Amino acid sequence: MALHLTTERLVLRPLHAGDVDALHALHTDDEVMRYLSRGRPRREDVRDEELPRMLAWERRDPAWGYSAVLDRATGAFLGWVLLRPAVEREPRPGELEIGWRFARAAWGHGYATEAARALLDHAVTALGARSVFATTMAVNTASRRVMEKIGMRYVRTYEEHHDDPLPGAEQGEVEYRHP
């Protein structure tokens, strides 16, 4: 069963092909992508590469994957959240990773915190995750605040090698974890 969650203000539902334009807008916004990547994917790249890669998680296990986050009152696409096993390192039993990306218009309204909290609660209560972690660049204070607000605790700062590092990469990446 694919993830469907509702909060006071939000609906989390599986991504689908109809989300390609919203994803393209999100993934080509320089401020949204500031701590994530350089470049602007073409709409065709989002449709033919990024979206299929995102949808593949749910095919592996319906409990995992990317979920669109919609405004419950208007249906507007606000961003996405992610729940999956670790991919940057060896997965551990009972451990899941969560992540999020929101449109600039959604910033500062508590949507990321509300969606991430719902996803974290789902991971622990419905899926029985023993540990949930999230990572971001150390300089990404907004994502770090979301991690703290949902009860995650700072675990470590570490370095990742990048051939073309983003500004701020020299300060490293951080990991937060619940519990």
Average pLDDT over residues 109-127: 98
Residue 74 CA to residue 80 CA, distance in Å, equals 16
What is the model's pLDDT at position 6? 98
What is the model's pLDDT at position 92? 87
Residue 178 CA to residue 119 CA, distance in Å, equals 12
Fold of the 5-178 domain: Aminopeptidase (3.40.630)
What is the model's pLDDT at position 178? 98
Amino acid at 97: E
Smallest CA-to-CA distance from 107 within 87, 128, 78, 131 is with 78
What is the model's pLDDT at position 172? 97
Q: Which two tokens stand for residue 39?
A: 């470049």
Task: Please tell me the pTM assigned to this model.
Answer: 0.94
Average pLDDT over residues 108-131: 98
Would the pLDDT of 104 be above 60? yes
Average pLDDT over residues 129-139: 98
Q: pLDDT by residue (tens digit) across 17-36?
A: 999 999 999 999 999 999 99
Q: pLDDT by residue (tens digit) across 60-102?
A: 888 889 999 999 999 999 999 999 998 877 878 899 999 999 9
Q: How far is CA 173 from CA 32, 63, 66, 102, in A?
A: 17, 27, 22, 20
Would the pLDDT of 55 be above 90? yes
Residue 125 CA to residue 148 CA, distance in Å, equals 19
Residue 59 CA to residue 64 CA, distance in Å, equals 9
Across the strands, what pairs with 177? 133, 153
> Over the chain, what is the mean pLDDT?
95
Which residues, in sequence order, are CB contacts of 85 under 8 Å at separation 6+?
A: 64, 91, 95, 96, 97
Q: pLDDT by residue (tens digit) across 31-48?
A: 999 999 877 899 999 999
